[in-house]
Chain A
Amino acid sequence: MNIKNKLIKILVPIVSILFSFIIGAILIASIGGDPVEAFSYLLKGAFGTTSNIGETFVKATPLIFTGLAATFAYKCGVFNLGAEGQFVMGAVASVWISTTFISIPTPLLLVVSLTSGAIAGGLWGLIPGILKIKRGLNEMIVSIMLNYIAVLFMGYLYSGPLRDGNLPQTAEVAVKLGRIFSGTRVHAGILIALVLTVILYYFLFHTSFGFKLRAVGLNPTAAEYNGFPLKKLILTSFVISGAIAGLGGSVELHGTQFRLMSGFGIGYGFDGVAIALIGQLNPIGTVLVAYLFAVLRKGAITMQVGTGMPTSVIDIIQALVIVFAVAGSALTNLPKVKQFFTNISQKSNKEVK
C-alpha cells in the first residue's frame, strides 16, 4: 500500500469525526442548547480531574476488547456480530470459577479465571463458526441469536442458581485485578488490552499464519486454490475473535464490575463493531477509536448533569461517525474519485520535479 492510500485511511475517520461533531453541535443548538457549553462540560467530564481521566481508561478497556474481537474477525473475513454474547459468556465462566474454586491461591485463581473466560468466549464463538462451515449458515444471524441467548442465560444465573442476597445479582468475586494508578479506578485490565493489541498487530501483519487468515478474508477462493485449509482457518478466526471478547468480559468482571447483574455487557458488541469499522480494521486504530468512545461516554454523563442535554446526543455523534466513516471509505474507492486523487498526486509529483 502506498502513502497516499494510507493517508486516506487516516483522513477518512478524522474527517468523519469532525463532521459528526458539527452535526452534533447543530442538533444541540436546534433543541435550544448551547453547543460550546455542552462540549466544554463534555471535556470537563472526561479530563477535569485525575479520577475522571482514570474513568476514561476504565471505560475504554472493555471497548478495546470487543473492538479488537470485531477487527480480528473482519480482517479474516468472518462477520462475527456476537462479541456481546462472547463477552457475557466469558464473564459467566469467570464468575463461576472464581466463586467456586476459592481454595486456589489468589494470583493463580485470577489467571485460571481469565483463561477460562477466554476459553468460554472462544467456545461461544465456535458455534457460529461450525454452523458456517458445516451448514453454510450466515454467521451474522447465528451470532446475534447467540447474543440474546447468552444475555438471557446470564439473567437466569444471577436471578437463580448464582444469586447472592436479595438483589438479582451474583456474589462479588474475591480476586480482583490490581489498581495501577492511585486515586483512580484504572486497573491492570488496560495493560492486558494494550499488550493484546500489540500481539494481535504482530500476529496479523507479521506472521505467516496471520497472513493466511487475512488471505481468507481478502479472497477465500484464491486462498483455497493456494492450498490453504479454508475451513480450519475460518474456524480459527471465529475462536480467536470469540476468545478476545470472552477475555474482555472476564477482565471487565475482575477489574470493574466484580459481579454479574442486569445490564452487564449490554451494547459492547455493537460498539465493538462500530469501533473496528471506524478504526479501519487496524488494531491500533481500534484502540484509539475505543478511547475516543470512552471519552465521549464519560463526558456525556457530566454533560447531561450540567446542561440537561441527554447522553443520547453522544450516541448519535458516535453513530454518525460510523455512518460517515463507512460512506467515506466507499466514496474514496469509487473509480471517479480514485482517478481524481491520482490526478492530484500526479500533479504534485510533476511540480516537485
Chain B
Amino acid sequence: MGAFLNVNFIQDLLLSMVRMATPILIVALAELYSERAGLVNIGLDGIMAFGSLVGFLTCYITGDPYLGILAGAIGGVLINMVYAFCTITLGAEQIVYGMAINIFAPAIASFIYKIYFGINSSLITNTLMSAVPIPLLSKIPFLGNILFNHTPIVYFAYLLVPITYVFFNKTKAGLNFKAVGEFPKAAESLGINVIAKKYLASIICGALAGIGGAYLTTCYISTYSDGVVSGRGFIALSAVIFGRWMPGGVLLAALLFGFTDALQLRMQVMSSGTPYQLLAMIPYICTLFVLAFFGIKKAGPKANGKPYFKEER
C-alpha cells in the first residue's frame, strides 16, 4: 500500500490523468457547441472512431502526427455533415440519427483499415506525437511535469476551455449561437440565420470530435483497432451533463473521468494479482455514480433535440 503514497506515483498518476482527460475534454466541448445550437449529437463515438482511423492512416502514410490530427478533424466534419443534413434539413430525430452515425462511421473506418492493410494484417504501429515541454514553466518542480510537458494537442484542449467560455458569454456571435439553442423562433425573428448557425455548430462539433478520435491513435496508442474509442464518446456526453453545459464544468468532469481512467491503469500495473477486468470497470462505474449523484433532471439549452422548421407555426 505504501507504494501508492509515493511522490513519483502521484506525479505519474496526475500526468496520466491530464493525458487521459484530453480526448474526453475535446469531445465534450464538441458536444457543447452542438447542444448550444440545439443539436443533441449522440454520434460522437462514431465520429471519434472515424477520426481515429483517418488520423492513424494519415499519420502512417506521411509520418506526421500533426497531419493526422488535421485529417481527423476533416474526417470528423465529413461524417458529421451526414448527421447535420439529415437532422437539420430533413428534420430526422436527432437521437435516432446519432445512433445511425454510431453504427455507420465505425463500419467505414473498419472497412478502410482492412482495404488498406489487408484482411489479415498484424498490428501496425505508427509514430506518436512527441511531447513539447513549454520552456520555463515545465521546469517548475512537480507541477511543471504534470501540466506543461505534453503534446500540443493537450495544450490546445485546455486552451479551448477559456476560449469557449469567452465565446459563449462575452461575444455577440456566441450569444447569438446560444439563442439558437434556447429559442430558435426568437433568434430567427432577430435576423439570426438559425439553419446556418446549426450547420456551423455541426462543423465545429465534427472537427473537434474528429480531433478527439485522432488524438487516440496519434498521441496516445500507436495502433488502430476496431473499438479503440471504447465508449469515450458516451463518457464525453455525460461530461457535458455533469459539467452543466458550462466549459469550466466540462473541464472538471473530463478531469474526473481522466483521473479514474489513469487510476485504473496504474492499479493494473501495481497489482497484477487483481483481475484486470474488475479494474477496467472503474471508469464506467464512476461515470454512473457521478451522474447518479450530481446529474440533474432539467438543464441545458431549452430547444435541445427539437427539429426546427422555418415554416412551422
A positions within 8 Å CB-CB of B: 31, 79, 81, 131, 135-138, 140-142, 144-149, 152-153, 155-156, 159-160, 270, 273-274, 277, 304, 308, 310, 312-313, 315-316, 318-320, 322-323, 326-327, 329-331, 333-335
Contact = CB atoms under 8 A, between A and B. Distances in A.
Given A148-B231, A326-B97, A334 B295 contact: no
Contacts of A334: 90-91
Contacts of A322: 100, 103-104
A141 B238 contact: yes
B90 A144 contact: no
20 contacts: A136-B297, A138-B238, A141-B238, A142-B288, A145-B231, A147-B231, A148-B284, A152-B278, A159-B275, A273-B99, A310-B114, A312-B107, A316-B107, A326-B92, A326-B97, A327-B86, A330-B92, A330-B93, A331-B90, A335-B312
B295 A326 contact: no
B223 interface: no
Given A135-B295, A319-B104, 9 more contacts: A138-B237, A141-B237, A144-B234, A145-B285, A155-B277, A315-B107, A322-B100, A322-B103, A323-B86
B230 A140 contact: no
Instruction: Tell me what chain B mostly uses at the interface: helix, strand, loop, or mixed.
Output: helix
B275 A156 contact: yes
Contacts of A156: 275, 277-278
A31 B230 CA distance: 29
A320 B288 contact: no
B86 A326 contact: yes
B100 A323 contact: yes
A316 B114 CA distance: 13
A314 to B, nearest CB: 9
Contact of B292 (A31, A131, A155, A329): A131
B93 A152 contact: no
Contacts of B241: 138, 141
Contacts of A273: 99, 103
Contacts of B170: none
A335 B311 contact: yes
B297 A160 contact: no
Contacts of A304: 119
Contacts of A136: 295-298
Nearest to A31: B115
B231 A319 contact: no
A149 B281 contact: yes
B82 interface: yes
Interface string B205-239: 00000000000000000000000001100100110
Nearest to B83: A323
Contacts of B277: 152-153, 155-156, 159
Interface string B93-129: 1011101101110011011001100010000000000
Contacts of B82: 323
B285 A310 contact: no
B309 interface: yes
A152 B281 CA distance: 7
A64 to B, nearest CB: 18
B132 interface: no
Contacts of A318: 103, 107
A335 B297 CA distance: 33
A145 B284 contact: yes
